Amino acid sequence: MERVLEQKFTIEYQYNVFFTKGLFSLGNNLFKNFLTVHSNPGFKQKILFVIDEGFMDAHPNLAEQIRNYFMESEDFILASEPLVIPGGEICKNDPTCLDNIIQAVDQYGIDRHSYIVGIGGGAILDLVGFAATISHRGIKHIRIPTTVLSQNDSGVGVKNSVNFKGKKNFLGTFAPPKAVFNDFEFLETLDERSWIAGVSEAIKVALIKDLSFYEWIENNAEKIKERNSSEMEDLIFRCADKHLEHIRNGDPFELGSSRPLDFGHWSAHKLEQMTDFEVLHGEAVSIGISIDVLYSYLIGNITREEAFRVVELMNKLGLPIYHPILDTEEARFILLSGLLDFQEHLGGKLTIVLLEKLGVGKDYHHLDYLLVLKTLDLLKNFCQDQNPVYEAS
C-alpha cells in the first residue's frame, strides 16, 4: 500500500535597498532606524562587521566612526572590532577568509538574532553572505556595497558564493540580505578603473531590458567618465532598480536554465580566470558584452552600425573591449570552454542571452564557435584601429 503526505508552503522575501550619503555620520539615523524597527525588545542583538581591507585602508577612521555610531545604542551591541578581510577575488579563492568569518561567528556568539554586516566590493559581499547563510543554518546579513559594480548589481541581488576547484562561484547560496545600504560617499575613494568598470553592468542590463536607459548612458558617457557624481548616482539607482525588477518578476533562485542578467558573462568569467583576475569583473564583462553584441550582429539580429555603436560606447568610457591574451589560438580555445562551464553551473541545456534587438534580450541554446572567433578578430582589429589595446596593469 502506498501513502503520500503532500507538503507545500510559501516563504515571502522582502528587503529594501537604501540610498544615502554619510551612512555612519552621527546625524544620519537611517541605519539605526532600520535596526530599531527589526529589533528584538528585551535584549541587545549583536552585530559583526566584516570589512574589505582595501576599503578600510582608504577609510582609516571607519572603525572609530562605527564605534561612535553605536555608542548609545540600546538595542544593539558591536560583537567585536571589525573583522578585516582582503578584498577582491582573493577572498573568494582563499578558504582562510571564509574560515576567519566562521571562527568569528563562533568566538563572539553570533546567532540567528544577530547580524553580520559586510562592507566592501562584490567579492567581499559574496563571501560574507555565504558565510552568514551556512552558519547556524542562516544568520541575517546586511550588505553595504562600496563600489559602483556592487552598488548597482551584485550587492543588491540574492546570490552569495565563493570559488572552489578553480571554478567561479562553485559554492554558494541563494539568500537575500535583510537590507542593502548604498552610501554614495563611499565611491569617492575609488580609483579610475573601479569607477568605470561597474558601468558595464548598467550597459548590460540596459541592452537587454531598457533601450531608453541605454540611450541615457550614451548621452551621459562623458559626465560619467569625468566622475560627475550626480550622473553616477542616477546610473546606480536606475541599474539597481532594473536588477531588482528582474529578481522579483523573473527567476530569482535560477531554477530554470536562463540567466538574462548574465548577458556577456559566459566569456567574462573565463577571462577573469585566464588573467588570474588581473582583469576586474566589470572589465571582463565589458569584453564579454562586446563579444555577444558582435555575435548578435553576425547572426543578423542587429545591424553592424548598432553593434559598433555599443563597442564605441565602451571605448568612449574607457572600458576594455578586447584583451591581448586572446591573440593565440590556444587561449581562444580556453575561452570557448567557458561555454561548458557556464552550462555546468546551472545544469540543463546551454542557455546564452544575446540581443534580439537593442533593449531586448533573447535566449539561445547554441553558439557557432567560428562566429565567436570572428567576433574576437573584429574586436582586435577595432582596438588596433583605435590604438587602445587593453592590458591589465
For the chain, list the domains and their CATH numbers.
16-189 (3.40.50.1970), 256-386 (1.20.1090.10)
Eight-class DSSP state of 170? E
- Under a CB-based contact definition with an 8 Å cutoff, are residues 312 and 379 in contact? no
| Rg of the chain taking only CA atoms, in angstroms | 21
Name the more confident of 389 and 202: 202
Please give the average per-residue pLDDT across 100-122, as a whole number. 95
pLDDT value of position 73: 81
Across the chain, mean pLDDT equals: 91
When pLDDT is averaged across residues 111-128 and rounded to a whole number, the result is 95
Tell me, what's the pLDDT at 257? Answer: 55
Strand partners, 172: 161
Q: Under 8 Å CB-to-CB from 188, ≥6 apart: which residues?
A: 229
Return d(Cα 205, Cα 145) in angstroms, integer: 19
Task: Cite the DSSP H helix spans in 301-368.
Answer: 304-317, 329-336, 338-346
Residues 277-312 pLDDT 10s: 899 999 999 999 999 999 999 999 999 999 999 999
Block residue for cell numbers 547560496? 173
Q: Whole-prediction pTM value?
A: 0.90
DSSP single-letter state for residue 135 = G
Residue-level pLDDT at 316? 94
pLDDT of 387 higher than 60: no
**CB within 8 A of 373, min separation 6: which ones?**
332
pLDDT for position 32: 92
